[in-house]
């Protein structure tokens, strides 16, 4: 049980193994590349000074707004220096630097000083629109608030909301736990990346009214690593005053790293650099590129340890080598959803769910073609090292629940639900037991016809495909990287965005001409399946979840 929980909750840490993403996820939209795209320049007052953005196609866009101060030099691994006010008007027309990582297409060079945010709004008026504050994915090691698939213009334009996205520290720059070595100045160092996001939320609270947003109606949401970030924020006292609803998408953060493991990881880093604990400050002088290179050499958490099955269980227990949020008793007092849903957010509505075919993304990323050639004997051989004597029971249950499924179908189903589904259900059930605000469970199920390279197997609904859909960035007449060519994807995208923006507005997800999506409960367990048609399914995956409970993989 403990191993399973740690695996599920640390899944967003595991996405550190995603070394690259498709261009549509990485590349920034070229929103400002010349006057031809700008209808007019617009300005806004902030608490630090006046900024200039631009208006295009009914949306005001501000890119690269600084929300906190310097984090380089003597501020490395510390809270930011105070942001200095400026005189005159600061241009916020292009993206700010992303956090230290490999270069990102169509974005500035990564930099230690990366605390910038982007705002999309229908107008800088006094209208109190709901604010949708998005946490980007990429585990805790890559990504930015400027990826093309999560461009916020369509949400702002089509649904009358304000969208905000931040860059924040990632990897060991954002999560190196130094408290046991470095003292009071480095308190919270194991959660700097999360505390940066809190600073972004504070900026929203203080400034978003100038952008037509309501500082008292803020939704936090995020996918994959962004879902895990949202899970953490849901449990962080410093974040609590600045949002009132949340959505955790394909990244259930049930548990995070404990202090002991985080300290071990710090010692391992020092050892790799041949630095004694007394000389830990030498880390401040190492070029960021060298730190990034060392981060890539350190071991990763599952599921990216498959080549060494014997060590996987131990890594699940220790989370060795990973950098992510730390349950330090202060910034993150407890695990987000273990043993219970966080009391601090008892009265904040929650959305949680996952994509039906999460694993196909990882098959694509790892160039896994063999999994789609299996027969049922090969399937049993593939699952046996992990599930041992329970393998036959597991396969038998899935075959009875899905009579027409092939061996690859069942492998994808098992892999997808263990990656993202069980943790999502656990979060929903713990939220229900809290007897507070409602929680709504969903599955995204629109099926892409795009094939996994080297196979005849369709991607279906892979991990990360939901991003462009929920941002209403899929169209009927334009193909997308994962979404494919079928025109129905535009309707699925509209429904996804409509449900989420109505949740942002009211705390209840609904869409026109759609069945009522009732709050999750432990009696009939309503789950919304999102596709080109919306369907509420009661007690979905009943047989499959029953066997996971029986095997002790779901509490």
Number of domains in the chain: 2
E strands, 122-205, are 129-135, 162-166
* Confidence check: pLDDT of 47 > 50: yes
Range of the domain at 148: 11-257
Asked if residue 499 and residue 390 are part of one domain, the reply reads yes
Q: With beta carbons less than 8 A apart as the criterion, state whether 347 and 212 touch.
A: no
What confidence tens digit (pLDDT) does each residue in 129-168 have? 999 999 999 999 999 999 999 999 999 999 999 999 999 9
Asked if residue 179 and residue 60 are part of one domain, the reply reads yes
* Confidence check: pLDDT of 45 > 90: yes
Asked if residue 360 and residue 238 are part of one domain, the reply reads no
Asked if residue 182 and residue 42 are part of one domain, the reply reads yes
Residue 267 lies in a domain: no
E strands, 373-465, are 439-444, 448-451, 458-460
* Confidence check: pLDDT of 399 > 50: yes
pLDDT value, residue 319: 34
Average pLDDT, the chain: 90
pLDDT value, residue 14: 34
What confidence tens digit (pLDDT) does each residue in 198-217 have? 999 999 999 999 999 999 99
Asked if residue 519 and residue 386 are part of one domain, the reply reads yes
pLDDT value, residue 299: 66
The DSSP symbol for 466 reads: H
- Which of 239, 257, 275 terminates a domain? The answer is 257
pLDDT value, residue 294: 94
pLDDT value, residue 488: 97
pLDDT value, residue 12: 33
Residue 165 lies in a domain: yes
Asked if residue 362 and residue 226 are part of one domain, the reply reads no
Phi and psi torsions of 458, nearest 5°: -75, 145
CATH number at 238 reads 3.40.50.1820
Measured CA to CA, the distance from residue 200 to residue 204 in angstroms comes to 6
- Which of 241, 257, 273 terminates a domain? The answer is 257
Asked if residue 147 and residue 25 are part of one domain, the reply reads yes
pLDDT value, residue 37: 75
Query: Which residues are tagged catalytic?
Result: 224
- Higher per-residue pLDDT: 298 or 499: 499
Residue 287 lies in a domain: no
pLDDT confidence of 26, banded at 50, 70, 90? Answer: low
Burial annotation 66-79 (CB, 10 A radius, 16+ → b, else e): bbbbbbeeebbbbb
Asked if residue 245 and residue 116 are part of one domain, the reply reads yes
* Confidence check: pLDDT of 20 > 80: no
Please state the rounded mean pLDDT for residues 393-397. Answer: 98
* Confidence check: pLDDT of 325 > 60: yes
Residue 105 lies in a domain: yes
Long-range pairs for 395-403: beta carbons < 8 A, 24 or more residues apart = 397/543, 397/544, 397/546, 397/547, 398/544, 400/543, 401/541, 401/543, 401/544
Please state the rounded mean pLDDT for residues 436-453. Answer: 98
Asked if residue 147 and residue 24 are part of one domain, the reply reads yes
What confidence tens digit (pLDDT) does each residue in 103-115 have? 999 999 999 999 9
- Which of 224, 257, 290 terminates a domain? The answer is 257
Q: With beta carbons less than 8 A apart as the criterion, state whether 492 and 446 touch.
A: yes
Asked if residue 241 and residue 387 are part of one domain, the reply reads no
The three state secondary structure string of 521-554 is: CCCCCEEEEECCCEEEEECCCHHHHHHHHHCCCC
Residue 135 lies in a domain: yes
């Amino acid at each position: 049980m403990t191993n399973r929980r740690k695996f599920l909750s640390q899944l967003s840490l595991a996405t550190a193994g995603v070394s690259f993403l498709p261009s549509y996820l990485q590349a920034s939209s070229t929103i400002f590349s010349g006057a031809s795209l700008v209808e007019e320049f617009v300005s806004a007052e902030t608490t630090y000074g006046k900024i200039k953005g631009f208006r295009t196609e009914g949306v005001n866009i501000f890119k690269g707004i600084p929300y906190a101060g310097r984090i380089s030099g003597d501020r490395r691994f510390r809270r930011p220096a105070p942001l200095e006010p400026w005189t005159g008007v600061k241009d916020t027309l292009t993206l700010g630097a992303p956090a230290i990582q490999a270069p990102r297409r169509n974005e500035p060079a990564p930099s230690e000083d990366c605390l910038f945010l982007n705002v999309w709004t229908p107008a800088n008026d006094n209208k109190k629109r709901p604010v949708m504050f998005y946490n980007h994915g990429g585990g805790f090691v890559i990504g930015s608030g400027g990826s093309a698939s999560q461009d916020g213009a369509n949400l702002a334009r089509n649904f009358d909301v304000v969208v905000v996205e931040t860059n924040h520290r990632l990897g060991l720059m954002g999560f190196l736990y130094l408290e046991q070595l470095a003292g009071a100045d480095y308190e919270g160092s194991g959660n700097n990346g999360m505390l940066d996001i809190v600073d972004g939320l504070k900026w929203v609270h203080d400034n978003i009214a100038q952008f037509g947003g309501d500082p008292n109606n803020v939704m936090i949401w995020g996918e994959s690593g962004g879902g895990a970030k949202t899970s953490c924020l849901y449990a962080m006292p410093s974040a609590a005053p600045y949002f009132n609803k949340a959505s955790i998408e394909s990244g259930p953060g049930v548990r995070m790293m404990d202090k002991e493991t985080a300290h071990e990881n710090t010692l391992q880093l020092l050892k790799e650099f041949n630095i004694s604990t007394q000389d830990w400050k030498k880390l401040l002088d190492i070029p960021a590129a060298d730190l990034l290179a060392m981060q890539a050499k350190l071991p990763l958490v599952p599921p990216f340890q498959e080549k060494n099955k014997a060590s996987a269980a131990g890594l699940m227990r220790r989370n060795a080598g990973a950098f992510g949020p730390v349950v330090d008793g202060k910034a993150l007092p407890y695990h987000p959803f273990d043993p219970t849903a966080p009391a601090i957010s008892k009265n904040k509505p929650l959305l949680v769910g996952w994509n039906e075919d999460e694993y196909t993304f990882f098959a694509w990323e790892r160039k896994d073609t063999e999994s789609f050639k299996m027969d049922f004997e090969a399937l049993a051989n593939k699952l046996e090292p992990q599930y041992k004597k329970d393998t036959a029971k597991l396969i038998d249950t899935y075959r009875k629940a899905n009579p027409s499924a092939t061996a690859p179908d069942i492998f994808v189903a098992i892999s997808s639900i263990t990656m993202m589904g069980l943790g999502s259900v656990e979060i929903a059930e713990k939220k229900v037991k809290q007897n507070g605000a409602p929680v709504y469970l969903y599955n995204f199920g629109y099926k892409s016809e795009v094939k996994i390279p080297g196979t005849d197997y369709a991607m279906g609904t892979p991990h990360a495909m939901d991003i462009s859909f929920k941002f209403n960035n899929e169209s009927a007449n334009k193909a997308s990287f994962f979404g494919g060519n079928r025109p129905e994807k535009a309707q699925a995208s509209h429904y996804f965005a409509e449900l989420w923006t109505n949740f942002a507005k009211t705390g209840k997800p609904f869409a026109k001409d759609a069945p009522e999506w009732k709050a999750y409960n432990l009696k009939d367990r309503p789950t919304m399946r999102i596709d080109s048609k919306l369907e509420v399914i009661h007690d979905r995956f009943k047989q499959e979840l029953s066997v996971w409970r029986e095997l002790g993989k779901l509490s």
